[in-house]
Structure 1
Amino acid sequence: MNFDLKTLELTAAASEKCDLLIALIPEGFKPGKDPLSTLAAQALKNGDLATKAGKSLQLYQPGGAAARRVALVGAGDGAARAVRQALLAVAGAIKAPQTKRVVVCFAGKAQADAVSAAVQAVAEASYVYTTTKSKAEARSLSRCVVGVHSAPDVREAFDTAVALVAGIEFAREWGNRPANHATPTLLADAAKGLAKLPRIQCKVHGPAEVARMGMGAFLAVARGSEEPLRFIELRYNGAAKDKAPVVLVGKGITFDTGGISIKPAPEMDEMKFDMCGAASVLGVFRALGEMQPEINVVGLVPACENMPDGRAVKPGDVVTSMSGQTIEILNTDAEGRLVLCDALTYAARFKPAAVVDIATLTGACVIALGGVRSGLFANNDALAAALQEAGESAQDPCWRMPLDDDYADGLKSNFADMGNVAGRAGGSITAAKFLQKYVGELPWAHLDIAGTAWKGGAAKGSTGRPVGLLVQYLLKQSQAKAPKAPKLPKADRPATAVGSPSLSPLRARTGKAAPAVRAPKSGAA
């Protein structure tokens, strides 16, 4: 789908030929003398339309409009949240098979974040998953024109939103794929495909390399599956080499049976979503490839399945993590923290400015926060505040949870340095306390997205969260002064490719988007 931004008042929008014209009517709407404004004013006066966000009046071929259908939609105060709510209220019309060209026109002055919200809402409303359907009807919408009072004033926000949509949809695609179409190998292939974008590199480690690195916890989880594990390492080099990177670590359990501590059968199919943390990291890199911000970012994805065959790790087994700490595996269904702990240890070699891990980690977080906010845990107040602010700005909110040391008491073990679970009480917090043991003094945050990464029921599917939050955070960091990375002894330095000099965003330089990256076809090796 293509997006266009135009300087387009409601008067001119009426002459736009399209299948659907959506006029966003804000509070305090001052109608002009054009037919659409007059129509909206009459509907408001007679009570057939309200400016409350999401209230709408849909019309077919009204006089004075070239559009086949017109939707007058209340946009509330015109802020990003209200605009998103307004457009999702007419999602059915946007997604309809006969809708191929849409014009979204702001009848009042459009703020930059509201324009961004409009782009994302149209993309969300029209999204269709087709990969594993034999007779799928693909997204019918091919073009969306966003009309505003002054296009140059919101151009940057618009371009950023278009790039963000590419990242969110990349994450949704891989989150939605069934486990046999999103194996660790296929996930690694998707990451390799991202290396076609400017400034992005990818390296994939197999089982032998992971074993040599001493990632005993990660290896233990993968033992029960015939699918070989993959440890994916992505790098985006957008700033000088001496600038410390932000490291993103995404949980990549491509299917989770629970292992020997097997899950109940109902809704186990949703455990294909257990790699949504990994998908969000891939989505962030997809967006970075378009935006080209001046920042260095590393993405780490430990990818494997958690299966219960004869080789699978057993409750009571003790394994040695990459950090040298030993873990008594009391519950094999608490596997996400086992793959993440080794990836967090690996992350330290990059001497990062911050480490953020993203994981569908605990059902306890769903109980605590539901599907509205992701759980945020952090050992650094500044990092926590930056992530929370980014979430609010991106309409991808999180909520900070406690990390008191007393919560770690339940992780004590008689047979290892720690157990991998600490009982039901405060389960999301004790899981975070487990991960904290592997980050030392590094500024670190953990996002538990078990409640926000996907929806169940009739709306079942990946949401693409928290790509928006993460991208917003990285963009803010790119605008701030990044700390220089400390010099490492030669033997400890991670391999880095020759980076290009700092450049302004690709779209601003060339007027063109970055090259498209297609997901590999189902079944590709």
Structure 2
Amino acid sequence: MDFSIKTFDAKSTVNTSKTGCVVVGVFENKKLSAAATALDKKGEISAALKSGDISGKAGSSLLLRNLSEVAAERVLLVGLGEEAVSISEKAYVQAAQAAARNLATLGASDAIIALPAVAGRDTAWSVRSTVVAFRESIFRTDSLKSKKSAVSTGVKKVAVAVSAADAAGAKVVLAQSIALANGIDLTKQLGDLPPNICTPSYLANTAKTIATDYKMTVEVLERKQLQALKMNSFLSVTNGSEEPPKFIVLKHMGGKAKDAPTVLVGKGITFDSGGISLKPGAGMDEMKYDMGGAASVLGTMRAIGEMKLKLNVIAVIPTCENMPSGKATRPGDIVTSMSGQTIEILNTDAEGRLILCDALTYVERLKPAAVVDVATLTGACVTSLGHHNTGLFTRHDDTHDKLAAELLAAGKQTGDTAWRMPIEEAYNEQLKSNFADMANIGGPAGGSITAACFLERFTKAYTWAHLDIAGTAWKSGAAKGSTGRPVPLLTTFLMNRAG
């Protein structure tokens, strides 16, 4: 799908634009948006509203043809909800989604999206939301089916209407939005792939492709190198699997040479059986999504690479399988992490923290400005926050509060929201072990918090935050599939840092 910016001024108005379809908004109280009013020369749109042909509820729609004194062949009305000074974010997104669904079925080749502003949001937000909504509508999951679904023959060219004053900035934002959508798509594609295809080696090759395409550098550490680094916690998770582990370091050095990098660490368990602490069979297929952290970090790196973001960013991805076998790590085993701290493994299904702790120790050598780890870490986070907010954990001091505020703000900018959870010394009591420096689980109470407290022990040398995406990285049921989160949050966080 091709996107562009369409500029309107006193001479070029929405009703004089020749296009296959123009999309405008209407409200529940029978009122019209400014663009709809401009098209309503003979009262045909008002009549449709009054007749009840469209309710105006957010996401509702009605297609009209051959309106009087309108150059467009079709006019698509989309509901914006209750009339207000400006519409809500949710209503805008629902309207954009409704437009995408309808335009996919039309015979027109092009369309103009002319929706009103959102309260507290600028043109950049509208452009990004439109692009992401439309790309979501055409994302396909049938790449491995022997018979593919029919390809839509609908609208292929979409122009977003902006004022002349906003045109220059909108074009920059449009390119960034397309890059973001490409990163989201990559994350979703990786997540949806089956674990017999998306192996640690596949993720490593994906990182190499990104490096080649966007002039980054990449290094993939193999088992012998990991042994030399004494990453025994990471390696303990790989013991039961035939798939070789990989440790990916992907560098986008778009900033000044002396600038400290922002580091993203992504959990890459390409399949999590639970190991000897075997998971229940029902729903275990969804454990292919346990590499959601790695996928989102790779998607983010692709996005900022396409943007040529002027910031130093390094992705660090420990990736392996967690499988049961005669060689698998047992409950009760004790391992020595790269940091020298010893860990009693009480549950082999709490493996994400075991690979992340060595990665978090490794990143010290990168002298980071800040580190954000991203992981489908705990079912407890789903219990706490459901599927709406990602869990955000970090220490409580001025530096870490600032990092938390940056991440929360990026989430609010994009609708890819997070909620800050506590990290307190009291929770560390649950990680005590009689035989090692710590246990790898702290019991069911506050499970997402004790997991974050475990990781925090390996991050004392730098500014750090942890994102638990177990509830937001994928959907189950009829809508099963990767969501692409938190690529919007991470990408916007980095864009904001780049200024």
* One-letter amino acid matched to 1:186: Y
1:167-203 CA deviation, whole Å, 9 max, x = no partner? 1111111011010110000111011000123341111
Q: Which runs of 5+ in 2 are unaligned?
A: none
Any idea what SS the aligned residue of 1:42 has? Answer: helix
1:288 is aligned to 2:300: no
Quickly say closer, same or farther: Cα 1:309–1:102, change in 2 above 3 A.
Answer: farther
Whether contact under 8 Å (2:23, 2:77) holds in the other structure is yes
1:452 is aligned to 2:476: no
- Paired with 1:265 and 1:198, the residues of 2 have a C-alpha distance of 41
Residue equivalent to 1:512: none
The match for 2:77 among 36, 54, 72 is: 72
Residue equivalent to 1:217: 233
- Paired with 1:185 and 1:85, the residues of 2 have a C-alpha distance of 39
Percentage of pairs with the same residue: 48
Any idea what SS the aligned residue of 1:129 has? Answer: coil
Deviation at residue 61 of structure 1 after TM alignment: 6.7
The match for 1:49 among 40, 44, 54 is: 54
* One-letter amino acid matched to 1:187: L
Whether contact under 8 Å (1:84, 1:118) holds in the other structure is yes
Residue equivalent to 2:4: 4
Residue equivalent to 1:24: 25
1:116 is aligned to 2:121: no
1:215-258 CA deviation, whole Å, 9 max, x = no partner? 10110001111111111110001111110110000000000000
Deviation at residue 37 of structure 1 after TM alignment: 8.3
Any idea what SS the aligned residue of 1:231 has? Answer: strand
Residue equivalent to 2:176: 160
* One-letter amino acid matched to 1:103: A
Whether contact under 8 Å (1:377, 1:400) holds in the other structure is yes
* One-letter amino acid matched to 2:25: L
Whether contact under 8 Å (1:259, 1:307) holds in the other structure is yes
* One-letter amino acid matched to 1:202: V
Whether contact under 8 Å (2:123, 2:162) holds in the other structure is no
- Paired with 2:441 and 2:108, the residues of 1 have a C-alpha distance of 51
- Paired with 1:216 and 1:283, the residues of 2 have a C-alpha distance of 28
Residue equivalent to 1:208: 224
Quickly say closer, same or farther: Cα 1:264–1:70, change in 2 above 3 A.
Answer: farther
Quickly say closer, same or farther: Cα 1:310–1:158, change in 2 above 3 A.
Answer: same
Quickly say closer, same or farther: Cα 1:213–1:107, change in 2 above 3 A.
Answer: closer
Quickly say closer, same or farther: Cα 1:404–1:28, change in 2 above 3 A.
Answer: farther
- Paired with 2:316 and 2:271, the residues of 1 have a C-alpha distance of 18
* One-letter amino acid matched to 1:115: V
The match for 1:85 among 85, 94, 109 is: 94
Deviation at residue 85 of structure 1 after TM alignment: 1.8
* One-letter amino acid matched to 1:317: D
* One-letter amino acid matched to 2:5: L
1:374 is aligned to 2:390: yes
- Paired with 1:348 and 1:477, the residues of 2 have a C-alpha distance of 20
Residue equivalent to 1:337: 353
Residue equivalent to 1:39: 44
* One-letter amino acid matched to 1:130: D
- Paired with 1:64 and 1:135, the residues of 2 have a C-alpha distance of 45
Quickly say closer, same or farther: Cα 1:446–1:85, change in 2 above 3 A.
Answer: same
* One-letter amino acid matched to 2:78: V
1:101-132 CA deviation, whole Å, 9 max, x = no partner? 45242144572211211111111122112331
Deviation at residue 24 of structure 1 after TM alignment: 3.5
Quickly say closer, same or farther: Cα 1:107–1:370, change in 2 above 3 A.
Answer: closer
Whether contact under 8 Å (1:25, 1:108) holds in the other structure is no
Quickly say closer, same or farther: Cα 1:325–1:36, change in 2 above 3 A.
Answer: farther
Quickly say closer, same or farther: Cα 1:49–1:317, change in 2 above 3 A.
Answer: same
* One-letter amino acid matched to 2:192: N
Whether contact under 8 Å (2:26, 2:80) holds in the other structure is yes
1:112-165 CA deviation, whole Å, 9 max, x = no partner? 211211111111122112331222237536433323333335222222111100
Residue equivalent to 1:305: 321
- Paired with 1:33 and 1:439, the residues of 2 have a C-alpha distance of 58
* One-letter amino acid matched to 1:114: S
Quickly say closer, same or farther: Cα 1:138–1:453, change in 2 above 3 A.
Answer: farther
Deviation at residue 44 of structure 1 after TM alignment: 3.2
Quickly say closer, same or farther: Cα 1:337–1:297, change in 2 above 3 A.
Answer: same
- Paired with 1:139 and 1:246, the residues of 2 have a C-alpha distance of 40
Deviation at residue 58 of structure 1 after TM alignment: 3.3
Deviation at residue 360 of structure 1 after TM alignment: 0.4
Residue equivalent to 1:137: 149
* One-letter amino acid matched to 1:387: L
Residue equivalent to 1:497: none
Q: Which runs of 5+ in 1 are unaligned?
A: 480-525
State how 1:243-258 maps to structure 2 within 5 Å. 243-258=259-274
Quickly say closer, same or farther: Cα 1:170–1:61, change in 2 above 3 A.
Answer: farther
Any idea what SS the aligned residue of 1:298 has? Answer: strand
Whether contact under 8 Å (1:24, 1:105) holds in the other structure is no
Q: Please report the TM-score for the alignment, with normalisation by the length of structure 1.
A: 0.85
Q: Which stretch of the first structure deviates more once superposed, 135-144 or 212-221?
A: 135-144
Deviation at residue 79 of structure 1 after TM alignment: 5.0
* One-letter amino acid matched to 2:438: M
Any idea what SS the aligned residue of 1:180 has? Answer: coil
The match for 1:415 among 423, 426, 435 is: 435
- Paired with 1:145 and 1:453, the residues of 2 have a C-alpha distance of 30
Residue equivalent to 1:500: none
Residue equivalent to 1:105: 113
Whether contact under 8 Å (2:23, 2:115) holds in the other structure is no
Quickly say closer, same or farther: Cα 1:37–1:128, change in 2 above 3 A.
Answer: farther
Residue equivalent to 1:490: none
Quickly say closer, same or farther: Cα 1:412–1:464, change in 2 above 3 A.
Answer: same
Q: Which stretch of the first structure deviates more once superposed, 261-270 or 105-114?
A: 105-114
Any idea what SS the aligned residue of 2:213 has? Answer: coil
1:462-514 CA deviation, whole Å, 9 max, x = no partner? 010000000111011111xxxxxxxxxxxxxxxxxxxxxxxxxxxxxxxxxxx
Any idea what SS the aligned residue of 2:361 has? Answer: helix
Quickly say closer, same or farther: Cα 1:249–1:63, change in 2 above 3 A.
Answer: same
Any idea what SS the aligned residue of 2:158 has? Answer: strand
Deviation at residue 86 of structure 1 after TM alignment: 1.4
* One-letter amino acid matched to 1:83: Y
Residue equivalent to 1:148: 162
- Paired with 2:49 and 2:358, the residues of 1 have a C-alpha distance of 59
State how 1:175-214 maps to structure 2 within 5 Å. 175-214=191-230
Q: Which stretch of the first structure deviates more once superposed, 377-386 or 3-12?
A: 3-12
Quickly say closer, same or farther: Cα 1:64–1:271, change in 2 above 3 A.
Answer: farther
